[in-house]
Chain A
Amino acid sequence: MKIHEFQAKELLSDYNVPIQRGHVVYSSNAIEKTIDKVQNEFNSDAVVVKAQIHAGGRGKGGGVKFCPSTESAIESANKILGMNLITHQTGEEGKVVNQILITEALDIEKEFYFALMFDRAKNADVFIVSTEGGVDIEEVAEQTPEKIVKAWVNNDTYPLDDAINTIINALSLNSFNDAFEIFKNIYNCYSNSDCNLLEINPLVITEDQKIIALDAKVDIDSNALFRQEKIAKFHDTFEEDPLELKASEYGLNYIKLDGNVGCMVNGAGLAMATMDIVKHHGGEPANFLDVGGAANVDTIKNGFKIILSDPNVKSVLINIFGGIVRCDRVANGVIQAVKELNLNVGVVVRLQGTNAKLAKQILDESDIELISAETIDEAAKKAVGLVS
């Protein structure tokens, strides 16, 4: 689960990690008062106005503005709050900015890149740092990989203290007495908050020689939210695709894509493989939809509702491998759902597993128009055929 910059900074602050301080504004009425508060509280005439959306690339998209005066701050804040911000991560449709963060402006001497995440290959957490901060780190990794330093942490083989010393050396922070403690605190924040990713870009050294997190991007392990009460409240449903949100309420795993062949499959791997074979036969999948290992009448009905909410969908491919669930039950579920929902797109059904033959018979003999198929290959060809 992604959270906003101001929320991530709050987490860091809870662990005594120095952050660029500020206050959040949700409504234009509060803009002037908040700017005044930031200026006085943090003794900073200049302020920075930052759009709070989950997507990256906010600066380039015009969502972050340095404001040297009160007037310019008011102007920028009014402009950014409520704007439709388009960045390389929001897609063409952009994202409406519902809240802005107004922060103190700092005099910066150096900018670093900092991240903590889990490295599966090494089975350890990894610090990733670079002296090339504040820029697109992927470019740095590609063009000057020697400027990226990694240090691993794992209870058994890689002690935390060693990793911290490695990054302190890499960033030449040896003269900063508090550097060790700050990195230790960031690690504790990352670990105790069940973060998948904690990225600070940039982590800066100010002209008065302080280490400060200027930005923060955090992704939380959704499976751990049951024990992260504070973080669970940070969930911003506005940031999610409405269809994906609705699907998750149904207990379905749905991701919208750009094609026109709707796919309904049980199991994530089989769902991906089904999308792949649709593409292989010249079609474009409209979505990824995993209805879970144990598909039943309700999940199929809800799956249809989600898929058909996407106006691009011109045909639907159902591919269910019935293990524990009997295929004849799935077939009856499909028929019931099609009748209730008045479908006007072609539906291709491939059921494999327990009672597959009986299921095919039920589908073939029903009074509604369904196209049945025996193999995934046949099903994909037929579903693609319906749209081309």
Chain B
Amino acid sequence: MSILLNKKTSILVQGITGSEGLFHAQQMLDYGSNVVCGVTPGKGGQTATENNLPVFNSIEEAKKEFSIDATVIFVPPRFAANAILEAINQNIGLIVCISEGIPVRDMKKVKSALDNSSSTLIGPNCPGLITAEESKIGITPGFICKKGSIGILSRSGTLTYEAIDQIVNVGLGMTTAVGIGGDPIIGSSMIDILKHFADDEETKGVVMIGEIGGSMENEAAEWIKSNFNKPVVSFIAGQTAPKGKRMGHAGAIISEGSETADAKIKILKKCGVSVAKTVSEIGETMLKLIEE
């Protein structure tokens, strides 16, 4: 078991003929992901990757020949919102957007379309998701993952890798890791992903990595307190970030008191979540919690 993604999930790559899309489509195939085809407008009829996957002009065309469970978007930011909207219109169940730098106004439109659809969006500005030893959608390095019992969810890309690495190194292993993205508007919140982990029998505990900015961690903390029975270890990045400065992620701007790392850590602790003091203690903290 896993969440959202397994080895059977059939995957389409939007932007498969671009350098990023092509490279990562191949990486995904090499990991064992069931990538079946790609889309690049105007490039229909070509093939891509060493596996000679067919390229279509649109998702609509691709759907005539393939059954598509999920799509991953590697499209330049100014076109990415339209790529997401196309996937929503075509009723793709799982949409993963890797692209970074989508204007907020475009994402407002996407969010509104998403609310009126049955699609799940992960990202944008995220590394995607990976189910250990089965399948990956996105750019997470596969070789660091080993099957086990811990689910991972994070707003930051390389911190997701760091958490996976530590969880594997302490011997626990992982089910699925989901990078939800660092932008102000993202498709799936921490609570959305926690709900999936709650239903997954194989997931015995969850690592939840947050950062300064927004209030998603606080809402997740309150939700965990009253709804989630598995152990949760959290880490919040940005404890030393100066106020008012933008630390790379468009989302990581401290604008109100409850958006600082200290405020979030306080609320998480109050709600019974174990908080790793430093980034290097994530794995050990989870190991202790599971052994208890």
Bound together = yes
Between-chain CB contacts (< 8 Å), 27 pairs = A121-B219, A155-B108, A156-B116, A221-B104, A221-B105, A223-B102, A255-B245, A268-B211, A269-B158, A269-B159, A269-B209, A269-B249, A270-B159, A271-B247, A271-B248, A272-B247, A273-B278, A277-B278, A279-B239, A288-B241, A288-B245, A293-B139, A324-B141, A352-B162, A353-B141, A354-B141, A354-B143
- Interface pair A155/B162, CB less than 8 Å apart: no
A277 to B106, CA, bound (A): 36
Q: Find the B residue at minimum CB distance from A253.
A: B248
State whether the Cβ of B97 lies closer than 8 Å to any Cβ in chain A: no
CB proximity to A under 8 Å, residues B209-260: 209, 211-212, 214-216, 219, 235, 237-242, 245-252
- Contacts A120-B185, A271-B248: A285 and B105 contacting too (C-beta < 8 A)? no
Contacts of A196 in B (CB 8 A): 104
Per-position binary interface string of chain A over residues 243-283, scored 1 when its CB falls under 8 Å from any chain B CB and 0 otherwise: 00000000001010100000001111111111111111000
Interface bracket on B: 35 or more
State whether the Cβ of B165 lies closer than 8 Å to any Cβ in chain A: yes
- Contacts A156-B112, A321-B158: A272 and B241 contacting too (C-beta < 8 A)? yes
Contacts of B63 in A (CB 8 A): none
- Interface pair A269/B165, CB less than 8 Å apart: no
Contacts of A324 in B (CB 8 A): 23, 27, 139, 141
Per-position binary interface string of chain A over residues 312-326, scored 1 when its CB falls under 8 Å from any chain B CB and 0 otherwise: 000000000111100
- Interface pair A224/B105, CB less than 8 Å apart: yes
State whether the Cβ of B156 lies closer than 8 Å to any Cβ in chain A: yes
User: Measuring CB to CB, which residues of chain A are less than 8 angstroms from any residue of chain B?
Assistant: 118, 120-121, 123, 154-156, 191, 194, 196, 221, 223-224, 226-227, 253, 255, 257, 265-280, 285, 288, 290, 293, 321-324, 352-354, 375-377
B158 CB contact (under 8 Å) in A223, A267, A354: A267
Interface centre among B108, B185, B212 (most CB of A within 10 A): B108
- Interface pair A285/B278, CB less than 8 Å apart: no
- Interface pair B161/A321, CB less than 8 Å apart: yes
Contacts of B27 in A (CB 8 A): 324
- Contacts A191-B105, A353-B144: A280 and B278 contacting too (C-beta < 8 A)? yes
State whether the Cβ of B264 lies closer than 8 Å to any Cβ in chain A: no
Contacts of B247 in A (CB 8 A): 255, 268, 271-272, 288, 290
Contacts of B277 in A (CB 8 A): 280
Per-position binary interface string of chain B over residues 248-292, scored 1 when its CB falls under 8 Å from any chain A CB and 0 otherwise: 111110000000010000000000000001111100000000000
- Contacts A118-B184, A155-B112, A269-B155: A276 and B162 contacting too (C-beta < 8 A)? no
User: Measuring CB to CB, which residues of chain B are less than 8 angstroms from any residue of chain A?
Assistant: 23, 27, 77-78, 101-106, 108, 111-112, 115-116, 127, 139-141, 143-144, 154-159, 161-162, 165, 182, 184-185, 209, 211-212, 214-216, 219, 235, 237-242, 245-252, 261, 277-281
Contacts of B248 in A (CB 8 A): 253, 268, 271, 288, 290
A120 CB contact (under 8 Å) in B157, B158, B211, B214: B214
A224 to B80, CA, bound (A): 13
Q: Find the B residue at minimum CB distance from A121.
A: B215
A224 to B108, CA, bound (A): 13
Q: Find the A residue at minimum CB distance from B252.
A: A268
Contacts of B239 in A (CB 8 A): 276, 279
What would 6 more interface pairs be, CB under 8 Å, given A269-B249, A273-B278?
A: A123-B185, A155-B112, A265-B158, A321-B161, A323-B144, A323-B158
- Contacts A279-B240, A377-B280: A156 and B115 contacting too (C-beta < 8 A)? yes
B278 CB contact (under 8 Å) in A123, A155, A270, A377: A377
The 9 A-B pairs at the shortest CB distance, nearest first, are namely A269-B156, A268-B248, A267-B158, A323-B141, A224-B103, A273-B279, A377-B280, A269-B159, A270-B158
- Interface pair A267/B241, CB less than 8 Å apart: no
- Interface pair B103/A194, CB less than 8 Å apart: yes
A223 CB contact (under 8 Å) in B139, B250, B278: B250
Decide if the interface of chain A is mainly helix, strand, loop or mixed: mixed
Contacts of A265 in B (CB 8 A): 158
A387 to B143, CA, bound (A): 36
Nearest-neighbour CB distance to chain A for B146, whole angstroms, equals 15
Contacts of B111 in A (CB 8 A): 123
Q: Find the B residue at minimum CB distance from A270.
A: B158
Nearest-neighbour CB distance to chain B for A306, whole angstroms, equals 14
Contacts of A154 in B (CB 8 A): 108, 112
Contacts of B242 in A (CB 8 A): 255, 257
Interface centre among A226, A269, A279, A293 (most CB of B within 10 A): A269
- Interface pair A268/B102, CB less than 8 Å apart: no
Contacts of B235 in A (CB 8 A): 273
B249 CB contact (under 8 Å) in A194, A268, A375, A376: A268
- Interface pair B78/A226, CB less than 8 Å apart: yes
A227 to B247, CA, bound (A): 24
A323 to B165, CA, bound (A): 11
- Interface pair B237/A272, CB less than 8 Å apart: yes
- Interface pair B280/A376, CB less than 8 Å apart: yes
